[in-house]
Structure 1
Amino acid sequence: MASEDPEQLHLHRIEPDLNMRRFYALALQPTLFGGASLIRNWGRIGTNGQSMMETFDEPEEATAALGRLERTKRRRGYRDADVQARS
């Protein structure tokens, strides 16, 4: 399932049987030099979690990295945050 805004993605993985309530957020932001940064934020829902920023020379490289991370997280059971809220 593709996200409507490819520059931001917010995923949740909630499994009460395993006491698991996690989030994973991805965002693309332009740099001052024409590149792009991929900002990741993850952790347990209700906490600030951890963050990581990866900078790319070309915006297309950052978009490709976002797509790879999204596919990986979806394979591991993460779903769109708004879909989780409705379930």
Structure 2
Amino acid sequence: MRMAAAQHALANDWPAMILRRVDPSRNMSRFWSARLQPSLFEEVLLVRAWGRIGSRGQERSYWFATRQAALATFEKITAAKCRLGYAADAERTTGAPAGRGWMLKYPPGSHGVERPREAAPA
């Protein structure tokens, strides 16, 4: 593996976003998430997931040759979802969701749903 590929695969600054849209009057409770991640073939994946909050939902991946192309698409579709009424939950993210230096409190793929923890044995 070339040195550039090794740095690409080990980078830890891959953006991710979890958005929610909840409207009780319309019985709407949806999530939408997107994240960038490296592939095994020196490409970049944009992974999108969506569905009803609490469900597994659906997931789709898109391949990009460069990180810049994937990041431009990531920002474009995230802005489009925000225009449709989706918003980041303040409890689930730290920092400004619009910036690139923010981190998620919950791991990607969890859809911001906390699982109940089992009681520790006494």
When normalised by structure 2's length, the TM-score is: 0.61
| 1:34 matched to 2:6 | no
* Residue-pair matches, total: 80
State the match for 1:12 in structure 2.
20
Q: Which has the higher strand share?
A: 1
Change beyond 3 A, Cα 1:36–1:70? same
Question: Which structure's relative contact order is higher, taking Cα pairs within 8 Å and 6+ residues apart?
Answer: 1
SS in 1 for 2:75: helix
Q: Partners in 1 of 2:14 and 2:88 — Cα distance?
A: 13
1:61-85, Cα deviation, whole Å (9 max, x unpaired):
110110011011000000003358x
TM-score w.r.t. length of structure 1: 0.85
Quote the sequence identity (%): 36
4+ runs of 1 displaced by more than 4 Å? none
Letter in 1 for 2:19: L
Who wins on radius of gyration, i.e. which is larger? 2
Q: Whose helix proportion is higher, 1 or 2?
A: 1
Matches of 1:49 and 1:12, distance apart in 2: 13
Deviations 1:13-70 (A, max 9, x none): 0000100000000010012232200000000001000000000000111101100110
Aligned position for 2:116:
none
